[in-house]
Amino acid sequence: TGVAGVRNAAPFYEKVLVEPQPAHLRAVRTRTPTPKGDVCLDLTFSDSSVRGAVVLPPDLSGTFRWQGADHALGPGSNVIGR
């Protein structure tokens, strides 16, 4: 939770929701521990856009939510805002 916005989205951490809340920050680099492994964010923000990567551990999937739009995340590296 917090700035990274990483939280459990299903029982037993089968899925996560990543909904960053950067406020005035232009970049967020975080490592959030979960029972399945670390969720890593490396994101940059510009006005209403976001770019970067979200890395999920093996056996964990989830959703990246930004300004009301959802994007599926799979295990490994996920490119955000191509």
* Partners of 38 in the β-ladder: 33
What's the number of CA atoms in the CB half-sphere (13 Å) around residue 49?
A: 6
Question: Rounded CA gap, 21 and 28, in Å?
Answer: 9
Q: Tens digits of per-residue pLDDT, 6-58?
A: 999 999 999 999 999 999 999 999 999 999 999 999 999 998 899 999 999 99
pTM above 0.95? no
Distances (CA, A) of 46 to 22, 51, 54: 11, 9, 17
- Residue among 21, 29, 16 nearest 2 (CA): 21
> What token pair was written down for 9?
């989205």
